[in-house]
Amino acid sequence: MEGFFLTLCLLAFSFILKVFINKKPKVMDILKAISELPIDIMFTSIAFIISYRIAQVAKWINENKKITDGIDMNMHFIYLIIYLIFSVIVIILWTKSVYYLKKEIWKTSIILIIISYLISFSALIFALVKLNGVV
């Protein structure tokens, strides 16, 4: 839980810096930044999935076991590929949501943003759970 809280703090700090440093944001700027945040969440999740793989291998080496004894090496790469695919989906949703924001088609934009957040937070939670089980 601590890792999740610290991750959210880091993402919030990044968001605030992007939006408010050296500029006076307009409402549309804030809305665009809100729609972009799931991309940051996805790439943070990818970093955690990579960390999970490294931690899992290190754990097995420290226990003097063969790496292939307990780790499905392919599964780590499958996680990475899935996360990269989800990242592409989130980026597509982001570009579409910004398009609809500019056209002031609010309902469609909000739906796309919500879907994007659902995907990215699910990925983040899964990555943190996996990493928490190893570290």
Tell me the pLDDT tens digit for each residue of 117-134.
999 999 999 998 888 876
Query: CA separation (Å) from 94 to 90, 116, 125?
Result: 6, 7, 20
As a dihedral over the C-alpha atoms of residue 35, residue 32, residue 14, residue 56, rounded to 10 degrees, the angle is 30
Biggest CA–CA distance in the chain, Å, is 59
* pLDDT attached to residue 61: 76
* pLDDT attached to residue 82: 96
The span from the CA of 58 to the CA of 30, in Å, is: 41
> Whole-model pTM?
0.84
* pLDDT attached to residue 76: 79
Q: Which segments of the chain does DSSP mark as H helices, in order?
A: 2-20, 27-62, 67-70, 73-102, 106-134
The span from the CA of 17 to the CA of 61, in Å, is: 40
The span from the CA of 78 to the CA of 80, in Å, is: 5
Tell me the pLDDT tens digit for each residue of 10-61.
889 988 988 888 888 899 989 999 999 999 999 999 999 988 888 887 777 7
Task: For residue 81, give its domain range.
Answer: 1-133
Q: How many residues make up the chain in this entry? A: 135
Contacts of 93 (CB under 8 A, 6+ apart): 38, 112, 113, 115, 116, 119
Domain count, the chain: 1
* pLDDT attached to residue 59: 76
Tell me the pLDDT tens digit for each residue of 72-109.
667 878 889 999 999 999 999 999 999 999 999 999 99
* pLDDT attached to residue 135: 52
* pLDDT attached to residue 68: 60
